[in-house]
Chain A
């Protein structure tokens, strides 16, 4: 049973002037499931990494039962605290599930003859005995997170930290993980601290909610926690203007008996699907349900079964280069799309390669001003904040002006004012150049007048929502 206490903790990243955490005081009692919430980029990950001892800091201030982590012998720290990360696939050293568990136990110097027994018990507890000899790289994100939790169970760590662990996994797996975590805290006295910005579905499991805002932590009382969790509803979509496309409407992109699978898991069962030109289509669905996989298939990056045609031709028969001119994807991770070092170089490249003569340097300057990026032209892209990167990425892709632009979470990390500007720009360019947008977004506010069609992905099926035209 270990209680984590934080006294007067201030942390500033090197080369930044503002502290991410400012004189934080908090205590996370043993046997409780605590949830930390706050805006993305607000310092939740930093706090967890500091607790886990993964960030070098001179500042004392974090103690485990009044002992700091540096006082614990290095090989025994994983018994005190272990962390489960947001990105499922980069947290393993070994090839198979059993080997990774064995690796972790060997690190703790568990006697060789006890290892098989503990390994089996941990897999049993999470309910993944069947995955024992599977290759980690072949597992789905959800399965990888289950394995990561099984490792923590096997290591018997007293404090379990989880950094947005459900960001890319399906609702069923999330529920299993939540149940196991609650069990670990209630039955085995573990201290569980989980960071998430989405508060839905935690009501039955979480003991206490902690809010991290502007570098300060505030614990809510159990009553206030339940109230807050109960009133948190995932952003409801209020689209008044969406219609279901007419049956005789000609589709630009047509999927026939299209089905999607990822690592052996079925995401979409065979169905016909039409996507329509010169409109804006929004695709929604739970995390990990296959939205990004669909996008990757549409740009020939992913595997799918069935046939996808673009303007009547099977996309497998279209060459990559000309096809990229017609259908382009704005990737979810902004950095993927940048090829240069500074903002200006990036914009110059897009202007040079643009498929439309529409954009002029003067227009780009105007757009930069609207997006609050005008004074950052010389800046190195990788030092921009995630929201600024997202805006620059969007601008670069709009200047390219492909016929169909697929946007994967284009509003991620944007504040409300930026969101409004971005939507206005998107609308304007669409009108001027007659573009087709298909977007995936969890951010739904402010989209009402922008969206024409709404596709919902649920129960492995994509269906158009709204009233019949």
Chain B
């Protein structure tokens, strides 16, 4: 898949109202591969921290002899972070406002992550 195709899929992921940005992250090194985000979203930091969360979650599930998770969601007062496995070490990460329609976002991210494979 080309970088342009990745970009178009990420733009799709941000079409839900309240989504601040979507980032394709390399979980192994916590770096941004591609992004579609508002200027105010610090995507490099989102990628680094989301990768740390996903890595730990993968390790926890391995330690508990569970199958690796396909998605991770972290919610707080200021918003929600959702991460979906895309292709191997690449994960799709989105950050949304508290008011965003999370159900719709979840469905859309699942589709986009599948299309990224």
A and B: interacting chains: no
